[in-house]
Amino acid sequence: MSQRYFEDVNIDDELEPLERVPTTDMAIDFFGRDNPTNPAFADAEAGKRLGVGGALVPGLLKLAWITQYVSDWAGTGGMVRSVRAAYRRPDVADRPLVLAGRVVEKRVEDGAHLVELEVVTLAEGQPSTRANVQVQLPSRS
């Protein structure tokens, strides 16, 4: 992982897409197999019976992936300051998700070099989660 600097980032820069495949075990184990909130989070067969096609991928797992994706993009000297996410539709385990993003704003505020990103998870090309992420990057100066 290389360090990203504020001066090297431009509005409309795109983050390199990253494909992740949430397996059924990963999705179920994230909350635990005894999760009472929704049977589709704890059992792939329950998800099929409910008509979603399998185990649901927890939104918090996608949020963790988004945060890691942006943190890796920023580098070790960068810091994720905030994440706001909206879940647009459910995702089903064992189907690829692509994380993608772009820079929408950059500014210096109280001495901090801030970059605003829009990040999405894409399932079959359609956004399932949208996030606005603020990152603080080091400056070369």
- pLDDT tens column, 108-117: 999 999 999 9
Q: How far apart are the two ends of the chain, measured CA to CA in Å?
A: 21
Nearest partner of 100 among 76, 123, 84, 83, judged by Cα: 123
Domains of the chain: 1-22+57-141 (3.10.129.10), 23-55 (no CATH)
- Whole-angstrom distance, CA of residue 128 vs CA of residue 86: 9
- Whole-angstrom distance, CA of residue 85 vs CA of residue 92: 18
Single-letter code of the amino acid located at 79: M
**Entry pTM:** 0.89
Q: How confident is the model at residue 33 (pLDDT cuts 50, 70, 90)?
A: low
How many Cα neighbours within 13 Å face the side chain of 13?
A: 17
Radius of gyration of the chain (CA): 17
pLDDT, averaged across the chain = 90
pLDDT at position 66 over 60: yes
The H-assigned helical ranges of the chain are: 24-31, 39-42, 44-49, 59-74
- pLDDT digits 0-9 by tens, 101-134: 999 999 999 999 999 999 999 999 999 999 999 9
